C-alpha cells in the first residue's frame, strides 16, 4: 500500500524507500504473477526444437528457463522463419502471452507474438551434450550460463544471504578483517607470501585473529570474506581461494559456541529448502536428509569419534587428524551434522584454549556435514591467558613480534571468547549435492587453475 515491497524476511528492517521494480520488462522467475497477460522477456536462446508448424524456443534470462511457443498460424512469417536463423545463445527479446503449462519447468509457457533479435551468436562451444570438466572449466566464463551451474550459484547466493540475515538479526556486527596480513593463523605451510614494498606479507588464511580484536571492541561480530591457502592437495574439498564466515563472540565458551554453530547451520539449510526449491529440483537433490537439519546436533568428543573408527575396523591411529574417509564413516552414524570437540592439542592451532580437566585436549570443535560432504566448520574457544598464549606461540615456533597486538587482547580486559569459521563452498556443495567444490564458486582457484 505504501509502495514498500514485502521481501518476505521476518525480523529484517526495511527502509522507507521502495525496492525498484522494473516496469519495462519481466523476468522468467516473475511469470507466475502474469498468467493471462502479455509480457516482454529479455534473454538468450537456450535451445530450439521444431515439430513443423510449431517450434519451441527455450529462453533463458538468468532467472530461469521458459518454453516459448511459436505457431505458424499465429505469428508473422518473418518471425516464424527465425527458427532457421537463431543459434544457441543468440540474444533476443521475446513478447508473448503467459499460459499455465504444468509440464514445463516453472509451470508456465509463452505464446509468442514477437521476437526481436539483438545478435545471432557464433557457434557456441558448449552444446547440450556431455563435455569433460577441464574443457568446461576452461570455458567457465560461458559454462556459468548452463542450467545446473546457474542453479548451484543461485543457491550460493541464498546461502550467503541467509548467513548475513542470521548474524544481522541476532545482533552481530559485521567487522571485516584485512586480506593482506603480516602473520599466519592456520600454520605456516599453506601461506601465500607476497612482496609488500620492502618486506613480505601474506594473503589471509582466516580473519579470526582480527575477529577476536573486533569482538573485544563490539561484542558479537562476524567476519565474512575471501581467505587463501596454498593447498597442495588436489581433493574435491580444497580450493586455494574460498569464502569463510567467521563469527566471534566475547563472553562465550565452547558449549555456547556449538549452540551458535548449530543454530546458524540449521537456519541456512532451512532457508535454502524454502527459497531454492526450483534450483534443488533442477539439481535433482534428494532433500530428505536436509529436512532433518534442525537443532540439536549430536556433540561427541574426539575420543568418542576415534572409538567409532576403531570399532569399524579402520586403520585410523589415535592422535591424528581425521581424513576424508574417516569423516564420512563418523558422519554416517548420525542423521544431521555432528560436532566433534576436545581434540588432541598437538594437532590443533596455537590459539586454542585447553580443557581444564585435561591439559592435552584443546577446546576446538569441527562440524562434519552428513552424506560424506566432510568438515564444514572449524572453531573453538580461544586461549585468553596472556602467558599461556605467549608460551604456545613459542612452542609453535611462530614469531612473537607480529602477534604482539594479538597478545595485547589478553592484557586489557581479557574474557572467555569463542568463534568458528564456516566454508561457504563446502556448505553450498553439501546443500546442492555437488561432489566437487570447484562448481560452488563462480571462478574457482586451485593449485592448477588461476585462469
Rounded Cα distance, 244 and 340, in Å: 20
Mask: binding to ligand 4AD, 193-232, rule CB under 6 A, as x and -? -------------x-x--------------------x-x-
Q: Is 364 in the site for Mg ion (CB under 5 A)?
A: no
Q: Report the nearest approach of Mg ion to the CB of residue 161 (Å).
A: 25
Site for ligand 4AD in 231-270 (CB under 6 A): 231, 238-239, 242, 244, 246
The DSSP result for 323-364, as a single string, is -HHHHHHHHTT-SS-EEEEEEEGGGS-TTBPEETTEEEEEEE
Rounded-to-integer distance, Cα 221 and Cα 375, Å? 23
Distance separating alpha carbons of residues 407 and 114, to the nearest angstrom:
68
* Residue 436: strand pairing partners: none
Cβ-Cβ contacts under 8 Å for 328 (sequence gap 6 or more): 372, 374
Contact status: 158 vs ligand 4AD (CB under 6 A): no
Among 43, 96, 337, 378, binds ligand 4AD (CB under 6 A): 378
Judged by beta carbon, residue 26 or residue 206, the one nearer Mg ion is 206
Q: Which does 279 bind (CB under 5 to 8 A by kind): ligand 4AD, Mg ion, none?
A: none
Where are any strands of DSSP class E within 137-204? 173-174, 180-181, 193-196, 199-203
Tell me which of ligand 4AD, Mg ion, none is bound by residue 433, counting a contact when its beta carbon lies within the kind-specific cut-off of 5 to 8 angstroms.
Answer: none
Counting contacts by CB under 6 A, is residue 379 touching ligand 4AD? yes
* Inter-residue contact 363 to 282 (CB < 8 Å): no
CB of 52 to ligand 4AD, least distance (A): 51
Assess 378 for contact with Mg ion (CB under 5 A): yes
Pick between residue 63 and residue 214 the one whose CB is nearest to ligand 4AD. Answer: 214
> Cα dist. 371→148, 428, 433 in Å?
20, 13, 9
Contact criterion met (CB below 8 Å) for 293 and 336: yes
Stretch of residues binding ligand 4AD (CB under 6 A), selected from 51-59, 175-183, 373-381, 443-451? 373-381
Report the site for ligand 4AD in 167-196 (rule: CB under 6 A): 185-186
Are the CB atoms for 393 and 385 separated by under 8 Å? no
Q: Does 247 bind Mg ion (CB under 5 A)?
A: no
Q: Which is nearer to ligand 4AD, 90 or 204 (CB)?
A: 204
DSSP string, 100-138: E-TTSGGGEEEEEEEEEEEEPPPPPS--SS---HHHHHH
Shortest reach from residue 425's CB to ligand 4AD, in Å: 5
Question: Cell numbers 600454520 correspond to what residue?
Answer: 187
Least distance in angstroms from the C-beta of 421 to Mg ion: 8
Separation of alpha carbons 80 and 115, rounded Å: 9
Q: Give the span between the Cα atoms of 308 and 334, in whole angstroms.
A: 12
- Residue 186's binding partner, choosing from ligand 4AD, Mg ion, none, with beta-carbon cut-off 5 to 8 A by kind? ligand 4AD
Shortest distance, position 73 Cβ to ligand 4AD, whole Å: 55
426 binds ligand 4AD (CB under 6 A): yes
Q: Which of 43, 370, 423, 444 binds ligand 4AD (CB under 6 A)?
A: 423
The binding site for Mg ion (CB under 5 A) comprises 378
The binding site for ligand 4AD (CB under 6 A) comprises 185-186, 206, 208, 229, 231, 238-239, 242, 244, 246, 375-379, 419-421, 423, 425-426
Amino acid at each position: 500500500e505504501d509502495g514498500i515491497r514485502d521481501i518476505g524476511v521476518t525480523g529484517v528492517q526495511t527502509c522507507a524507500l521502495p525496492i525498484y521494480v522494473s516496469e519495462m520488462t519481466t523476468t522468467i522467475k516473475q511469470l507466475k504473477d502474469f498468467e493471462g497477460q502479455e509480457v516482454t522477456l529479455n534473454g538468450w536462446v537456450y535451445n530450439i526444437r521444431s515439430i513443423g508448424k510449431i517450434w519451441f524456443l527455450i529462453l533463458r534470462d538468468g532467472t530461469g528457463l521458459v518454453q516459448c511457443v511459436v505457431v505458424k498460424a499465429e505469428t508473422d512469417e518473418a518471425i516464424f522463419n527465425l527458427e532457421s536463423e537463431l543459434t544457441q545463445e543468440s540474444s533476443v527479446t521475446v513478447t508473448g502471452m503467459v499460459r499455465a503449462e504444468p509440464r514445463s519447468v516453472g509451470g508456465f509457457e509463452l505464446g509468442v507474438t514477437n521476437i526481436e533479435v539483438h545478435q545471432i551468436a557464433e557457434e557456441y562451444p558448449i552444446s547440450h551434450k556431455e563435455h569433460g570438466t577441464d574443457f568446461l572449466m576452461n570455458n567457465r566464463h560461458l559454462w556459468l550460463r548452463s542450467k545446473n551451474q546457474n542453479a548451484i550459484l543461485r543457491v550460493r547466493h541464498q546461502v550467503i544471504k541467509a548467513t548475513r540475515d542470521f548474524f544481522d538479526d541476532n545482533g552481530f556486527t559485521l567487522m571485516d578483517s584485512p586480506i593482506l596480513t603480516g602473520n599466519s593463523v592456520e600454520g605456516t605451510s599453506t601461506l601465500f607470501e607476497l612482496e609488500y614494498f620492502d618486506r613480505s606479507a601474506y594473503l589471509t588464511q582466516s580473519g579470526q585473529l582480527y575477529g577476536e580484536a573486533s569482538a573485544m571492541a563490539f561484542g558479537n561480530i562476524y567476519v565474512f570474506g575471501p581467505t587463501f591457502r596454498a593447498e597442495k592437495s588436489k581433493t574435491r574439498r580444497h580450493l586455494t581461494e574460498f569464502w569463510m564466515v567467521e563469527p566471534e563472540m566475547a563472553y562465550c565458551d565452547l558449549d555456547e559456541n556449538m549452540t551458535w554453530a548449530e543454530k546458524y547451520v540449521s537456519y541456512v539449510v532451512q532457508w535454502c529448502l524454502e527459497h531454492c526449491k526450483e534450483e534443488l529440483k533442477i539439481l535433482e537433490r534428494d532433500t530428505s536428509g536436509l529436512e532433518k537439519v534442525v537443532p540439536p546436533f549430536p556433540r561427541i568428543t574426539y575420543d568418542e569419534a576415534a572409538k567409532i573408527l576403531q570399532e569399524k575396523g579402520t586403520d585410523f591411529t589415535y592422535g591424528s587428524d581425521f581424513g576424508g574417509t574417516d569423516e564420512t564413516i563418523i558422519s554416517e552414524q548420525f542423521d544431521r551434522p555432528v560436532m566433534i570437540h576436545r581434540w588432541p592439542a598437538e594437532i590443533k592451532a596455537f590459539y586454542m584454549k585447553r580443557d581444564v580437566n585435561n591439559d592435552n585436549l584443546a577446546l576446538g570443535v569441527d562440524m562434519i556435514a552428513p552424506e560424506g560432504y566432510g568438515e564444514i566448520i572449524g572453531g573453538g574457544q580461544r586461549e585468553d591467558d596472556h602467558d599461556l598464549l605467549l608460551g604456545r606461540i613459542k612452542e609453535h615456533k611462530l614469531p612473537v613480534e607480529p602477534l604482539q597486538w594479538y597478545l595485547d587482547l589478553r592484557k586489557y580486559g581479557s574474557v572467555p571468547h569463542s568463534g568458528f569459521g564456516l566454508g561457504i563452498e563446502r556448505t553450498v556443495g553439501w546443500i546442492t549435492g555437488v561432489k566437487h567444490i570447484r562448481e560452488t564458486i563462480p571462478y574457482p582457484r586451485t593449485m592448477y587453475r588461476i585462469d
